[in-house]
Every structure is written in structure tokens, then in C-alpha cells.
Amino acid sequence: GNSVTQMEGPVTLSEEAFLTINCTYTATGYPSLFWYVQYPGEGLQLLLKATKADDKGSNKGFEATYRKETTSFHLEKGSVQVSDSAVYFCALSLTSGGSYIPTFGRGTSLIVHP
């Protein structure tokens, strides 16, 4: 079956540090890949996406590259801010015969200290 594996958290960083959150996947077929962010008390928000191999998704200083050869979609940001503290979810989705099949990772909590 399909699965998404994220690094366990929490990830604790100081402001302006470099961030990497690892995400690897297994899927039958060619999935689209996503990163969602969940701020405290809120629903998930789409952060970025990539729909084919070698695509780079980017938004708000975050970026991730779809690496088919390593089945990975690691999230990076060059300089984190306190306001980036949230839970980050890696996800994949496939369509099969018009049916949407989503799979989410367990989420990685990021805590950024001033």
C-alpha cells in the first residue's frame, strides 16, 4: 500500500536556523506530493506541492523537491522564524480510475525559539 514516513519530532531550532524535515514515501504509481502546515488551534493549510519528478514546490520561504530516485520530498527553509512553529505534514495523493487516494504522514512538530 501507499505510505508516507516523516522524521519524528519535535524539531527544536533557534530563530534564523536552517530547517530540514525529512519525508519519504512509497506508492504504487506516480503520486503528487504535498506539504501541509497546521498552526495551533487551526486546520491544515496547503504549504506547497509538486506533481511530477524534479518539480520544486515553494512558498513562504519553504521549498521541497520531488525526488523520484530516492522517493523523497524533504522540506527545507533557510532561516526559520518563531511564527513558523507548527506541525508539518507530508502527504501524497494518487488518482486511480478517477478516485482520489490520499495518504498523510504522522506530522512533525517544529518549535522555533527566539
Partner 1 sequence: EAGVTQSPTHLIKTRGQQVTLRCSPISGHTSVYWYQQALGLGLQFLLWYDEGEERNRGNFPPRFSGRQFPNYSSELNVNALELEDSALYLCASSRFWYEQYFGPGTRLTVT
Q: Which spans of this chain sit near partner 1 (rule: CB under 8 A)? A: 32, 34, 36, 41-46, 49, 51, 89, 91, 93, 95, 98-107
Q: Of the two residues 56 and 113, which places its CB atom closer to partner 1 in the complex?
A: 56
Q: Of the two residues 96 and 114, which places its CB atom closer to partner 1 in the complex?
A: 96
Q: How far is the CB of 46 from partner 1 (least distance, A)?
A: 6
- Rounded CA gap, 92 and 101, in Å? 8
Q: Of the two residues 99 and 114, which places its CB atom closer to partner 1 in the complex?
A: 99
Q: How far is the CB of 29 from partner 1 (least distance, A)?
A: 14
What single-letter DSSP state applies at residue 11?
E
Q: How far is the CB of 99 from partner 1 (least distance, A)?
A: 5
Q: Of the two residues 70 and 99, which places its CB atom closer to partner 1 in the complex?
A: 99
* Alpha-carbon distances, residue 39 vs 16, 43, 47, 63 (angstroms): 19, 7, 12, 18
Determine the distance from the C-alpha atom of residue 26 to the mean position of all C-alpha atoms in its chain, rounded to a whole number: 14
- Rounded CA gap, 21 and 85, in Å? 13
* Residue 52 grid cell: 511530477
For the beta carbon of residue 68, count every other beta carbon within 10 angstroms. Answer: 13
Q: How far is the CB of 14 from partner 1 (least distance, A)?
A: 27
